[in-house]
Each structure stands twice: as structure tokens, then as C-alpha cells.
Chain A
Amino acid sequence: MSAAAPTAPGRAVTRLAARQVRRPALVVAAVTVGMSALVVATYARTVGDPAAAQALAALAGNPAVRTLFGEPVALDTAGGFAVWRTGTVLAVLLTTWGALATTRLTRGEEEAGRWDLLLAGRLTPAALLGRHLAVLTLAMASTGLLLAGALTTFGTPRDGALLHATGLALAGLTAVAAAACAAQIFPTRAGATGATLAFLGVGLLARMIGDGVSALAWLRWLPPYGPLALSRPYDDDRWAPLLAFAVTAAALAGVALVLAGRRDVRAGLLRPPTGRAPRRWLLGSVGAFAVRRAVCPLAGWSTGIGAYFLLIGLLAESLTGFLTDNPRFADLAAQAGFAGLGTVEGYIATLFALLAVPVGAFATARLAAFAAAENAGRLTLLHAGPVSRTWLLTAEVVATVAGTAVLVAVAAVATWAGTTTVGAGLPLTAALAGAVNVLPVALLGAAAATLSVGLAPRAVATIGMLPTAGGFILKVISDSVHAPAWVGSLSPYAHLAAVPATAPNWAAAGVMVTGAVAVMSAGNWAYVRRDLRL
């Protein structure tokens, strides 16, 4: 008999999982290490002098600053400053990626039926899940190690570097384990992803409230963001909160592995009813159907964006008052890309600039879903109908753009509601003007994603995020390293007026909207001319 060596079914699965995760894992690791190294390297230029360092310490006393950016700890050191500047952002990046990758690799593969083949072999469902979790654990641990190495290399104390990097890796792992649990409970990838993102959102809210309100500081023990603040890297270097983290992650992973062995393959513990009455709304045309598919995701994104900007509004009075009293911080914030935080209008304008990123992400996600539907063959029957390709894509883009407008309006109303509650005196029209002001940037994101649907349908997610997230990172970096002016001006954010504090930059908005429409048309032109992927 010439059967191949039947020794290592587990290793083959591990290799498969590694292949599916290595590229995004490298990108996430590069961003994590790169951002941290950049902040440490430019620390001396930003806040190097002792007077500034002393003044920074006062930050810790302001609840609004703590809520938004986390509790400032050891800002007089490069490491502590890097933790404060990048810690929350990187924790959100690692946890979000960890959650999305886990549900994609586990429930997504199972839902698509590809795990049926693997489970017909010798591996049990629990072993298969375990192998995938091991690979994701390795990815998070490697990111942590690289980060600790980079921070140490750039001269920050080794203990703090190790603690901070371990904390971030553990936060990512907690998200992975939570997503693995959700993947056992929900029978669809969308359900598991939504539940995990909701868990992360509640965790972030708990961290923000715990940081801002001292009576509720215990909320920071809730995973996956609060314990990072409690560990205080480069200051007290506390390991106990991270131990709680590790126990949580291990417990969640254990539960996921047990549940994996106790359910049917392709089923979840939650069993949706097998039949239901038809819901016939919005099925009457290609356009209506595009809207129908956007409604549920839009509700989710609206909830997240609405909650965040309600909080921004609630904090407006406290934060602007603090910055008016401490002009040194207004300068520092300006250097970090947050100018004009001293007035409510300036503060709102600055934070609305951030709004372009999630709104652009919504647009990119919708068009990436469209490309995925084409790839999975779900669009084939629509393409076989008497509907031109131009209209099929246009309907999707129009529904998506309408969704971005809704998100911007939600952000404006939520901010206004927050500022009105604390009596910060921001008119609704001003909030709407500020939010609508960033819409052209989000439209550039939608346009890039549309172009990608036409030219590079596999890369919609990456290309779609270039104008919004890419442009934001470019601006922050070029401001931080004092790059030549033309580099910064490549970012759309460089041409965004601080509405409602100042008048809109109509010329730039006009150019962006015109450019977006032109790029969308080019994407549609390319889409009509290429072969469909089936």
C-alpha cells in the first residue's frame, strides 16, 4: 500500500489556518509596531521639554480627556506617552481584527461548507477549532513580541514595553476567544461577528466611563480594554490586571472548545426557526433590494456611531473648558492634529473629522459585500435578468451613499443631543454642518471602493479604506515627522475646513465631490467591461 504518511492531520490544518491569516496578520503587526515606534521616536520633538511634561501631568485630572483618550499615565516618558497616544487605537485595531478574523476563519468557513471536508477526516470539531485558535494566538503573541522589541530598541524601559505589548496581545486574544464562543452560538458568520463587535463596543464604553467617572472606576476590570488602563505601563507596571485578562481569554476559549464538541456541524446553539412568513418589503426592483440589504448593517453602524458621538457631545463642555484653562494642551493637541479644541465648535469640528473614517468604512464594507456576493455567485441570477450591469452597480452605490448620509446625520443629531444635555449650546444646524462637511471625504472612500469593484474586486476593503483611514494616518504622520507640505496635502483631511468653527472650504469640497463622482463613473465603466467572477 502506498498511502501517504497518515501522521499529521492536525499539522495540515494548522498550515491551512496559517495561510489564511498570515497576510492580514502581517499588516496588523506592521501598523501596531510602526505607529508605536513613530510616536516614541518623535516624542522628544513633541513633548520633550520638562515644562511641557510637567503640564501634561495635569491632564490626568480631567475626566473628559480621560474618557476620550484614556487615563494619561507616565506622560513624562516616551513609553508612557506612546501608550497614551496609541494604546486605545491599537487595542481597538487588534481586537477588531482578531474578532473579524476568528469569525471568518471558523464560522465563515463552516457556513460555506468547507469545514465539512476537514471534519470528514480524523479531526474532531474541537481539535479543528483549537488549531485555528492556536494560529491566531501565535499571530497575537508575535505582534506583542515585535512591539515589545521595537519599544525596547527605541529606548523605553524593558518592563514597561513588555507589559504594554503583553496587554495589547491579551486584549486581542480575548477578542479572538470571545469571537470563537460567538461562532459556536450563532449559526451565521454575520451573527457571530455582530455579537462579538457588540461585546467589544460595550467593553470600550465601560473603559471610557470607568476612566472618566471615578465612582465607576471598577468598570475598568471588564475586558477587553479596561485592564489595559489598570496595568499602567511605564509607571506602576502592574501585572495583576493582565492576569485577569489571561484567565478571561483562556476561560472563553475553553468554553468555545467545549461547545464545539456539543453541537451539530453547521448549526449553532441558537437555532433560528426553520420557516417563517415572507417579508415582501423592498424586493420589487434591483434598487429596492440594494436598500433592503443595507438596512440592517446601517442600523448597526448607526448605533455605534450614534453612541460614540453622543458621548462626544456629553463631554464637550468639560473638555473645552479644560483646554481653555490650559492653553499648553491646546498647543500640544494642535501638534498632534487636533487644532482648535478650546471652543465647542472647534472641538466638534475636530472630532467630526474622525467621523469620515467609520462612515468611509461603512461604504467600503457595503461595496466589499457586493464584490463578495458576486464572487459567491449570489448576483448571477440578478445579472441574468434584464438589468444592465451599470444599473446594478449604480443602485448599490446610490444605496451606499444614501447610507453614508444617514450615518452623518445620526452623528450630528447624537452630538447635538449630547451637547444640549450638558448645556454646551451647539445649535443643531451647526452640528449638521460640521458632520456634512466630512461627507466628501467619505464619498472619496465610497468612490475608491467602487473603482476597486470594477478593477480589483478582491481588494475592495483595502482600496476603499485608502482615502479615509489611509488619508488620516498620512496626515497624522506627516504632521508628526514634519514632512514636506506636499506630502500632507495628499491627504483629503488637509483640505477639510474646521466646520462649524470656520466656514466650509467650498472649493475643496467641490473638488472632492466631483472627483468622487468621476472615480465612481470610472469604476462603473470598468465593471461593465470586465468578466464577472463566479
Chain B
Amino acid sequence: MTTSAIRAHHLTKRYGRLLALDGLDLTVHAGEVFGFLGPNGAGKSTTIRLLLGLARPTAGHARIFDVDAGDVAAAHRLLAYVPADVALWPQLTGAELLDLLAATGPGVDTGYRADLVARFDLDLSRPARTYSTGNRQKVALVAAFATRAPLLVLDEPTSGLDPLMELQFRRAVTEARDNGQTVFLSSHQLAEVEAVCDRVAILRAGRLVDVATVPDLRRLHRSEVVARFTGPAPDLAAVPGVDLLDRADGTLRFSLVGPPGPALRALAAADVTALTVREPSLEEIFLDYYGQTDR
């Protein structure tokens, strides 16, 4: 049996009349990089607040490596956190903040921290007051990665980083995975999630819509097919899962959901000269979930 880093059972949070999270059941296995997606207001940050014990669930419970999430003194020995909006004590310098977070956190690998400071190009002599959003995020990221904690909970950690720094972030996540750590990554940067995550959960209006590996998600979603042909156009009208996008002289572009067999049989009837199938990007999958339907 693989141990789970996070286990949420029927986790529910209600703020007055607003149901922010509705019976979330979720398991994140130890050692995986887990992406957590959803539009604004879907309940991602609420979930993280419940996992960290910053808010108390209305119903259900969550466990961090078999420790109740509400027992923060024990659970937080096993995790490090990067909030979406990093607020720091304005009068402390970067070096002082890293010292404070190292002293109050679950531990620190000072050698690795020095390495991360250099890689993220962080000026530690400046007071936090003078830091930009990205620099504040770097301080929190360096502090979190340097703990080498078994679980890293990262809430939109790269929203303020430039592409070079984002590359460093991906590298640090890969190192954490290689090191056996679990990463729980909530993000809007779908390319980033696609690049680093083993599995992805998709949340909508407080409910879990899907949990799958990125390749599985692709299989479940529409691919875009372009067929070139000579002679009469193939008839795809009756084929299930096909949605015609564009039709020009000698070219047919359509989206395809589900197994490709019926569509290929229909195409075989025509004289196809070229066929390209493009898998959907995570962004297209994401838009599929939220784009057309009411959030």
C-alpha cells in the first residue's frame, strides 16, 4: 500500500450561505507532484486553508501523512507552504526572514538554501518593504524548498516570477520529486502544471470534477484532426464524437472525443492524402471544462 501525503474525506466548508467546498474526497500519494486546477472561486484556496488548519472544516476531515490537519504542531512538521499572496514583515531583510522561517519551520538544509538563493538571484540584504511581488514569492519559495519537508503545498507560487525564474522553480520541483518529496501545486499556469505534474485534480464550484494523469485527461478529451483529401468529402455527420470545425476545399478540420475508430472508418471511404491528429493542451482541456458551461 502506498502511503498518502494528503487524504481529504468529504471535506466541506461553508461561509455563511456560501458553500465554498462541497464534500471533497481527494488522495495525494506520497512522492507525486499533484496539480490542483480550477477557475477563480472554485475552492482551491479554501481547500489549502483547510489542509493547513488555517480554517476549520464544516464537515469532513483531512489528514497529512496520517496526522489530523487540525493538529498543526504535528502536521506542520511534515510540510512547507508558499501562499498565493506572500506578505512579509516589511522591516526585516530577506536574510532575517529566512532565518526566522528556518527557526520556526520544520527544519532547514542551509547548504541547499544558499544554493537556492543563488539560483533564484535573491538579494537578501534588502528589507522586505522594498521587494516586488516576485521577490516576496522567491523568499517564500526558497524558505519552503530549503526545509526539504516531505510535503510542499504551493498555492500559485509562480504568478509573479519571470520565465527564467519559473524555469528555476520547475527545476526545484523536479529535485523535490527526485528527493521523494510530495508536491501539491495549485496553479493557473497550465503549461507549468503540464510540465511538472504527475496527476491533476480539477475543481469546479466547490466540487471535484476529475482526477487523472495528464495523458489520461488528454485521452478523455477532444483531439483536433485535420484531414486532406482529393475527391468527394468524407461524410462525418453521423459519426459520434465528431464536431466539425472548418471545411475548406480539400481540407476538413474537426474535433474528436472518444475512440477514433468510427471517424477513421468514415475517413477511409474518402481518398485521404494527409492526416494530422493533435492532442489537446491542458489549456484546451481546462477550457473544455469551464469554457462553455456555467461556472
Which A residues form the contact surface with B (CB < 8 A)? 187-188, 272, 274-280, 283-286, 289, 293, 373, 376-378, 380-389, 391, 529-532, 534
- In the docked arrangement, what's the CA distance between A456 and B52, Å? 22
* 4 tightest A-B CB contacts, nearest first: A275-B125, A377-B87, A384-B81, A531-B55
Would A289 and B54 count as touching, CB distance under 8 A? Answer: no
Residue of B nearest to A389 (CB): B72
B82-107 contacts to A, CB under 8 A, are 83, 85-90, 93, 95-96, 99-101, 103-106
Contact of A278 among B54, B93, B104, B140 (CB under 8 A): B93
Which B residues form the contact surface with A (CB < 8 A)? 49, 52, 54-56, 72-77, 79-81, 83, 85-90, 93, 95-96, 99-101, 103-106, 123-127, 129-130, 140, 143
Known A-B contacts A274-B130, A381-B101, A531-B56; A386 and B85 likewise in contact (beta carbons under 8 Å): no
Would B49 and A534 count as touching, CB distance under 8 A? Answer: yes
Q: How far is the CB of A506 from chain B (nearest CB, A)?
A: 38
Contact of B83 among A188, A381, A389, A529 (CB under 8 A): A381
Q: What are 22 contact pairs spanning A and B, CB under 8 A? A: A187-B129, A188-B129, A278-B93, A278-B95, A283-B99, A286-B104, A289-B104, A373-B89, A380-B54, A381-B88, A383-B52, A383-B54, A383-B72, A384-B80, A385-B76, A385-B105, A387-B72, A388-B73, A389-B72, A391-B73, A531-B54, A531-B55
Residue of A nearest to B101 (CB): A381
- In the docked arrangement, what's the CA distance between A83 and B188, Å? 63
B52 contacts across to A, CB distance below 8 A: 383-384
B93 contacts across to A, CB distance below 8 A: 275-276, 278
- In the docked arrangement, what's the CA distance between A378 and B130, Å? 15
- In the docked arrangement, what's the CA distance between A389 and B75, Å? 13
A285 contacts across to B, CB distance below 8 A: 103-104
- In the docked arrangement, what's the CA distance between A380 and B130, Å? 20
Q: How far is the CB of A191 from chain B (nearest CB, A)?
A: 10
A532 contacts across to B, CB distance below 8 A: 49, 54-55
A373 contacts across to B, CB distance below 8 A: 89
Would B105 and A529 count as touching, CB distance under 8 A? Answer: no
- In the docked arrangement, what's the CA distance between A195 and B88, Å? 24
Would A387 and B76 count as touching, CB distance under 8 A? Answer: yes
- In the docked arrangement, what's the CA distance between A380 and B55, Å? 12
A279 contacts across to B, CB distance below 8 A: 96
Known A-B contacts A279-B96, A377-B83; A386 and B77 likewise in contact (beta carbons under 8 Å): yes
A386 contacts across to B, CB distance below 8 A: 72-77, 105-106
- In the docked arrangement, what's the CA distance between A332 and B286, Å? 79
Would A531 and B74 count as touching, CB distance under 8 A? Answer: no
- In the docked arrangement, what's the CA distance between A66 and B54, Å? 55
Given contacts A188-B129, A381-B81, 15 further A-B contacts (CB under 8 A): A275-B126, A276-B93, A278-B125, A283-B96, A376-B87, A377-B86, A380-B87, A384-B76, A385-B101, A386-B72, A386-B76, A387-B76, A530-B56, A531-B49, A534-B54
Q: How far is the CB of A219 from chain B (nearest CB, A)?
A: 35
Q: How far is the CB of A386 from chain B (nearest CB, A)?
A: 4
Known A-B contacts A380-B83, A385-B105; A283 and B100 likewise in contact (beta carbons under 8 Å): yes
Residue of B nearest to A275 (CB): B125
- In the docked arrangement, what's the CA distance between A381 and B81, Å? 7
Would A381 and B72 count as touching, CB distance under 8 A? Answer: no
- In the docked arrangement, what's the CA distance between A289 and B49, Å? 24
Would B90 and A276 count as touching, CB distance under 8 A? Answer: no
B72 contacts across to A, CB distance below 8 A: 383, 386-389
A274 contacts across to B, CB distance below 8 A: 126, 130
Residue of B nearest to A113 (CB): B133
Would B99 and A381 count as touching, CB distance under 8 A? Answer: no
- In the docked arrangement, what's the CA distance between A278 and B96, Å? 6
Would B87 and A387 count as touching, CB distance under 8 A? Answer: no
Would B85 and A377 count as touching, CB distance under 8 A? Answer: yes
Q: How far is the CB of B47 from chain A (nearest CB, A)?
A: 14
Would B104 and A387 count as touching, CB distance under 8 A? Answer: yes
Max chain A C-beta neighbours (<10 A), residue from B77, B104, B106: B104
B124 contacts across to A, CB distance below 8 A: 278
Residue of A nearest to B133 (CB): A113
- In the docked arrangement, what's the CA distance between A388 and B127, Å? 28
Max chain B C-beta neighbours (<10 A), residue from A275, A293, A385: A385
A381 contacts across to B, CB distance below 8 A: 81, 83, 86, 88, 101, 140, 143
- In the docked arrangement, what's the CA distance between A254 and B257, Å? 70
Residue of B nearest to A375 (CB): B87
Q: How far is the CB of B195 from chain A (nearest CB, A)?
A: 26
B73 contacts across to A, CB distance below 8 A: 386-388, 391
A272 contacts across to B, CB distance below 8 A: 127
A530 contacts across to B, CB distance below 8 A: 56
- In the docked arrangement, what's the CA distance between A280 and B124, Å? 13
Would B103 and A284 count as touching, CB distance under 8 A? Answer: yes
- In the docked arrangement, what's the CA distance between A277 and B99, Å? 13
Q: How far is the CB of A14 from chain B (nearest CB, A)?
A: 29
Q: How far is the CB of A194 from chain B (nearest CB, A)?
A: 13
B99 contacts across to A, CB distance below 8 A: 278, 280, 283
- In the docked arrangement, what's the CA distance between A10 and B58, Å? 45
- In the docked arrangement, what's the CA distance between A297 and B89, Å? 15
Q: How far is the CB of B186 from chain A (nearest CB, A)?
A: 14
B80 contacts across to A, CB distance below 8 A: 384
Q: How far is the CB of A293 from chain B (nearest CB, A)?
A: 8
- In the docked arrangement, what's the CA distance between A384 and B100, Å? 13
Residue of A nearest to B95 (CB): A278
Q: How far is the CB of B222 from chain A (nearest CB, A)?
A: 38
Would A276 and B125 count as touching, CB distance under 8 A? Answer: yes
A284 contacts across to B, CB distance below 8 A: 103
Q: How far is the CB of B143 from chain A (nearest CB, A)?
A: 7
- In the docked arrangement, what's the CA distance between A284 and B99, Å? 8
- In the docked arrangement, what's the CA distance between A52 and B272, Å? 116
Q: How far is the CB of A447 from chain B (nearest CB, A)?
A: 24
Would A277 and B55 count as touching, CB distance under 8 A? Answer: no
Max chain B C-beta neighbours (<10 A), residue from A188, A272, A284, A384: A384
Q: How far is the CB of B37 from chain A (nearest CB, A)?
A: 21
- In the docked arrangement, what's the CA distance between A188 and B101, Å? 24
- In the docked arrangement, what's the CA distance between A380 and B89, Å? 11
B87 contacts across to A, CB distance below 8 A: 376-378, 380
A382 contacts across to B, CB distance below 8 A: 104
Would B126 and A289 count as touching, CB distance under 8 A? Answer: no
Q: How far is the CB of B42 from chain A (nearest CB, A)?
A: 17
Q: How far is the CB of A510 from chain B (nearest CB, A)?
A: 33
A534 contacts across to B, CB distance below 8 A: 49, 54, 83
- In the docked arrangement, what's the CA distance between A285 and B104, Å? 6
- In the docked arrangement, what's the CA distance between A173 and B146, Å? 52
B79 contacts across to A, CB distance below 8 A: 384
A388 contacts across to B, CB distance below 8 A: 72-73
B103 contacts across to A, CB distance below 8 A: 283-285
Q: How far is the CB of A91 from chain B (nearest CB, A)?
A: 32
Known A-B contacts A276-B125, A386-B76, A388-B72; A378 and B88 likewise in contact (beta carbons under 8 Å): yes
Q: How far is the CB of A31 from chain B (nearest CB, A)?
A: 33
B130 contacts across to A, CB distance below 8 A: 274
A275 contacts across to B, CB distance below 8 A: 93, 123, 125-126
Max chain B C-beta neighbours (<10 A), residue from A275, A293, A381, A389: A381
Q: How far is the CB of A126 from chain B (nearest CB, A)?
A: 24
Would B56 and A529 count as touching, CB distance under 8 A? Answer: yes
A277 contacts across to B, CB distance below 8 A: 125
Max chain B C-beta neighbours (<10 A), residue from A274, A386, A387, A391: A386
